[in-house]
Chains A and B, each alone.
Chain A
Amino acid sequence: MSGEAYRALADDIREAVAAGRWDEADADLDTLAEEAALCLVQDRAADLAALAREVARCHTALALREDRSPDAMHRLGQLRAVAALVAAGRANRPARSEAALAQAGTPTAAVLRALADGAKSGPALVEATGLSHDAVARALPELRAAGLVRSWPAGRLVMNERTTAAG
């Protein structure tokens, strides 16, 4: 999807609200919400970012208008709800598949391999893998979310072990 198409859709919503064409505004808002849902379901990260820009731009433009009528505020609220949906979709990501995480040469695979001989703390994983602190710190949250690593605190340390799911 092109950014221009999102810009045109958002501009149409602005114009419809400015002119008080509420049916058109509602129809376009429905299209916008539908597109946001499709981006989320299809995991189209770049499109979601472009959509976020246009929704925020449109919301800002409408918020700066003097019109505080119930009809205008109602559409502004709908736009805000779509923006919240898009922002949540961008802030939260699904973990990649087990196959992708275990692919040779990746930091996640190196961490899994280092855990094959037993549980290790974060600093011990840095030492065992030879990876940077940053790389290990990026790998662990995704491995946990994928269910391949279980972690627990032991005092101040965080221990990590492979789960049975991590074949």
Chain B
Amino acid sequence: MHLADLFVALRHQLDRNPKETERAVERLEFAPDDAGGVLRRLAELLDAGDGTDALKAWVDSSDERTPLERCVLAAQAIDQWFAPLASRFLSRSALSDGRLRARQWYKRHGRFNSDAAEGQLILRPGLFDRSVNIREVTPLRGSFDAADLFHTLLLLPPTLAAECPHGEDGERPVSVAFHRVAEVADQCPSDPDWAPVVGVVPLALAEEDLVLGTFSKDGADWYAATPGDLGARASSAIDALAAEGATIVVFPEVAADPATLGAIKAAVRRQAVDGPIRYVLVGVRQDGEMGGKPRSTAVLLDRTGAEMFCQTKLHCWDLDADQCRSYDVRGPDGRLLDEAKEFIAPGDGVTIVELPNMGRLAVMICEDLGREKPAAWLCRAKLLDWIVTPVMDAGLTEERWQAHAGDESSRAGSCRVVVANSMSFSHRFNRVCDADGQEDKRITDCGVALFFQPRADPAQSSRIRRLSLPIDAPEPGCVAARWEPRSWAELKTEGCP
């Protein structure tokens, strides 16, 4: 049996009886020196030739401590054995034959364990945490989670729960995949002084750039957002952001159709050799297959404009009566709707990508960031460097839900969060304000991007950077900022709606 497979087996045993596991853990925390003594012996066992078998024999047959305490200690000994692979600083212990084989397997398969059906056993720290591991200096969280026993390894399950669409009862499984991208890189995200420039292109600058169509079907009212042909504008924005030194460029949710995506690819390709852009994430409306529902997707491009992966939105954003009124969502007969469901086919999987030029990244499209599942699990696992969230909404502020959800996710996940928005819904909102004689509520300075830097110290606040464009004169139609959170404002989110 391989060491990683033994870890997975032990991990399952701990999950089978969480209450007993918690009690065993409390006993170990009560006598840390005793735990240290056992772990020192187990480390010597693992460094011997038949380490895995010897460790398994110790778990199965030793009369030292309780069986569950032995499971915890053995799994932690394995976790420690892998630790040199998750550190930016080289140590002699990283150079053993066994660890070389482990690195080889990990790079080939994106996991340490043999059987993908068991999930993917991966390095828990993203690239940022290879040199600064905040988790080990933050106080323990109140609730117990067996995953927190392990600082190096994380077992990513094959599926996670997601909510069913349109408020239907129950949950549905969505697949989870970790994908380690192998590509030529010139950025170094594991360097704590690395500070990329993040650019955002709202793209849909006017109301008519993103048409909101409505129709009735199966006894319900639906809406569907359809972007116009904005390829030329997107290309200009890519050129402008390349001149500003952007490392990554983000386009909002459903801001592009396939033709605009093609134009973006061509623009990125033109900048590929001498430009600074390493990745572009584009929110794309993809037509449904065989006349089915369309999909809201986010397509990641590399520096040559080639597609790397595609994330489909998991949760629909169904509008209630207040939202229909705020954004003037009317049926084909001109009637203001009480409710409008988003006409998209939800996705059935989450992909986490590890990008050599950026770090470990997950895309959570709009509503996916605010939902409990699976976003909360991914944040709680603290395995991400970045969450990128393309949205379609009215202007971003430091008081609206995106600020609350972004801050929560950034703090819970100990990761950076980028939210990118278009401007069409702000124009709709302003039109309603004008009709109601509420000019004072009009959006003038339209928030198109929010950046969140998690706090390192629980006593401090997270940092936020809001980027905006004047709604009546949005040219050049893009924004960018270097990731330098020390100069950003502190975020106070108490009481966010």
Contact of B269 among A64, A123, A161 (CB under 8 A): A64
B132: A residues at CB distance < 8 A: 134, 137-138, 141
Return the CB mask of B450-465 against A: 1 if under 8 Å, else 0: 0000001110000000
Are B29's CB and A156's CB within 8 A?
yes
How far is B304's CA from A80's CA once the two chains are assembled, in angstroms?
16
The count of chain B contact residues (Cβ–Cβ below 8 Å) is: 53
Binds B, one of A18-26, A30-38, A55-63, A66-74: A55-63
Are A64's CB and B304's CB within 8 A?
yes
Binds A, one of B83-91, B196-204, B326-334: B83-91
Let me know if A99 is at the binding interface, CB within 8 A. no
Are B88's CB and A141's CB within 8 A?
yes
Considering only CB atoms, which chain B residue lies closest to A122 in the complex?
B137
Contact of A153 among B35, B138, B191, B274 (CB under 8 A): B35
How far is B304's CA from A59's CA once the two chains are assembled, in angstroms?
11
How far is B186's CA from A80's CA once the two chains are assembled, in angstroms?
12
Let me know if A44 is at the binding interface, CB within 8 A. no
Q: Taking the nearest CB of chain A, how far is it from the CB of B75, in angstroms?
A: 10
Contact (A137, B134) CB under 8 Å given A153-B149, A155-B28: yes
B163: A residues at CB distance < 8 A: none
Are A123's CB and B80's CB within 8 A?
no
Q: Taking the nearest CB of chain A, how far is it from the CB of B285, in angstroms?
A: 28
Tell me the residues in window 6-46 of chain B with beta carbons closer than 8 Å to chain A beta carbons: 25-26, 28-29, 31-33, 35-36, 39-40
Are B32's CB and A144's CB within 8 A?
no
A13: B residues at CB distance < 8 A: none
Are B137's CB and A155's CB within 8 A?
no
Contact (A145, B32) CB under 8 Å given A60-B303, A133-B456: no
Contact of B90 among A52, A55, A95 (CB under 8 A): A95
Contact of B457 among A133, A140, A146 (CB under 8 A): A133
Return the CB mask of B68-98 against A: 1 if under 8 Å, else 0: 0000100010011000000111111000000
Are B185's CB and A83's CB within 8 A?
yes
Let me know if A8 is at the binding interface, CB within 8 A. no
Let me know if A41 is at the binding interface, CB within 8 A. no
Let me know if A136 is at the binding interface, CB within 8 A. yes
Let me know if A119 is at the binding interface, CB within 8 A. yes
Give the interface size class of chain A: 35 or more
How far is B477's CA from A110's CA once the two chains are assembled, in angstroms?
49
A95: B residues at CB distance < 8 A: 89-91
How far is B127's CA from A154's CA once the two chains are assembled, in angstroms?
25
Give the secondary structure class of B's interface: loop
A126: B residues at CB distance < 8 A: 137
Let me know if B356 is at the binding interface, CB within 8 A. yes
Q: Taking the nearest CB of chain A, how far is it from the CB of B106, in angstroms?
A: 14
Let me know if A113 is at the binding interface, CB within 8 A. no
How far is B151's CA from A135's CA once the two chains are assembled, in angstroms?
18
Are B304's CB and A60's CB within 8 A?
yes
Let me know if B432 is at the binding interface, CB within 8 A. no
Considering only CB atoms, which chain B residue lies closest to A14 in the complex?
B273
Are B184's CB and A155's CB within 8 A?
no
A60: B residues at CB distance < 8 A: 184, 272-273, 303-304
Are B184's CB and A83's CB within 8 A?
yes
Let me know if B239 is at the binding interface, CB within 8 A. no
How far is B39's CA from A166's CA once the two chains are assembled, in angstroms?
21
Are A122's CB and B76's CB within 8 A?
no
How far is B272's CA from A156's CA once the two chains are assembled, in angstroms?
45
Considering only CB atoms, which chain B residue lies closest to A48 in the complex?
B188
Tell me the residues in window 162-215 of chain B with beta carbons closer than 8 Å to chain A beta carbons: 184-186, 188, 190-192
A159: B residues at CB distance < 8 A: 32, 35-36
Tell me the residues in window 140-166 of chain A with beta carbons closer than 8 Å to chain B beta carbons: 140-142, 144-147, 152-159, 161
Considering only CB atoms, which chain A residue lies closest to B182 in the complex?
A84
Interface of A with B (CB < 8 Å)? 49, 52-53, 55-57, 59-61, 63-64, 79-80, 83-84, 87, 90-95, 119, 121-123, 125-126, 132-134, 136-138, 140-142, 144-147, 152-159, 161
Interface of B with A (CB < 8 Å)? 25-26, 28-29, 31-33, 35-36, 39-40, 72, 76, 79-80, 87-92, 127, 130-134, 136-140, 148-151, 184-186, 188, 190-192, 269, 272-274, 303-304, 356, 456-458
User: Could you name 19 residue pairs across A and B whose Cβ atoms are closer than 8 Å?
Assistant: A55-B186, A64-B273, A80-B184, A84-B184, A87-B185, A91-B188, A91-B190, A93-B90, A94-B90, A133-B138, A134-B132, A141-B131, A145-B90, A152-B76, A154-B29, A154-B31, A155-B149, A156-B149, A158-B151
